[in-house]
Amino acid sequence: VLKGKTAIVTGSTSGIGLAYARAFAAEGAALVINGFGEAEAIETIRAELAATSGAAALYDAADMTKPDEIAALVERAARETGRVDILVNNAGVQHVAPIEAFPPERMEAILAINLTSAWYAMRAAVPHMKAQRWGRIISTASAHSLVASPNKSAYVMAKHGLVGLTKTIALETAQHGVTVNCISPGYVWTPLVEAQIPDTMTARGLTREQVMNDVLLAAQPTKEFVTPEQVAALALFLCRDEAKAITGANLSVDGGWTAA
């Protein structure tokens, strides 16, 4: 389905981003992956993606807090693979604390990585997509783009903002063959979720099991974590021609969380 196309996925060295990259590679897309991690582990992922797709797979270390590096990543994709067809804004971080104990620099970093980076990446990618008259922009928002939870002020404001950005750029590109959407997962079992368990234990005075069952899965009526592959399958659908009428949408994959 994606042979001859190039997909950029930010924050794809782990978790949901890696699942997107694998799903696109399985359909023959060239990939530009991004994110932090050990050089050796990243090279293993990069080589695996190239072997799967039979197309180029590049790693770009752009830091999503740095606008110049974000623009350079997009231009590198265009230069080295010839195209920019799919942009997935996925890099994200979390910090859990009540507002009065929330370090301002953590709040600023969450906004930069989870929200502002998507604005810069879209700004760089849209001209290529408009010129080709084909493009797909997908941002990983969250159930927290629709509802809030206590102690996640920065994350919730960033994810709500991503939905507004998505709607705006969907309108700006609507007549250019480009769609712009958010996918909003509930709790997906990834390193990001695992890492916030200790902070939530501290913030709420709970055990690990209580955080898993009473906090995380409490909100998810299915009582199951979403898998990264389930999220990636929706992204792949959004890249199909059948999905060209879906734009400006925020699509939930949350086990019923936001229905409650």
The CB-of-162 to ligand NAD minimum distance in angstroms stands at 9
What is the distance between the alpha carbons of residues 217 and 134, in angstroms, rounded to a whole number? 38
120 given a catalytic annotation: no
* Minimum CB distance to ligand NAD, residue 36 (Å): 4
| Closer residue to ligand NAD (CB): 110 or 129 | 110
Q: How far is the CB of 99 from ligand NAD (least distance, A)?
A: 19
Collect all residues with Cβ–Cβ distance below 8 Å to 119 and sequence separation of at least 6. Answer: 165
Which one, 59 or 134, has the nearer CB to ligand NAD? 59
Catalytic choice (20, 120, 155, 187) = 155
Which of residues 134 and 212 has its CB atom nearest to ligand NAD in the complex? 212
149 or 210: whose CB is closer to ligand NAD? Answer: 149
| Min CB(57)–ligand NAD separation in Å | 15
Written as one letter, the residue type at 16 is I
Backbone angles phi, psi at 180, to 5 degrees: -135, 115
Q: Least distance from C-beta 13 to ligand NAD, angstroms? A: 4
Q: Kindly tell me which of 166 and 190 has the beta carbon lying closer to ligand NAD.
A: 190
Name the site residues for ligand NAD (rule: CB under 6 A). 10-17, 34-37, 63-65, 90-93, 113-114, 140, 142, 185, 187-188, 190-193
CB-based contacts of 205, cutoff 8 Å, min separation 6: none
Which residues are annotated as catalytic?
155
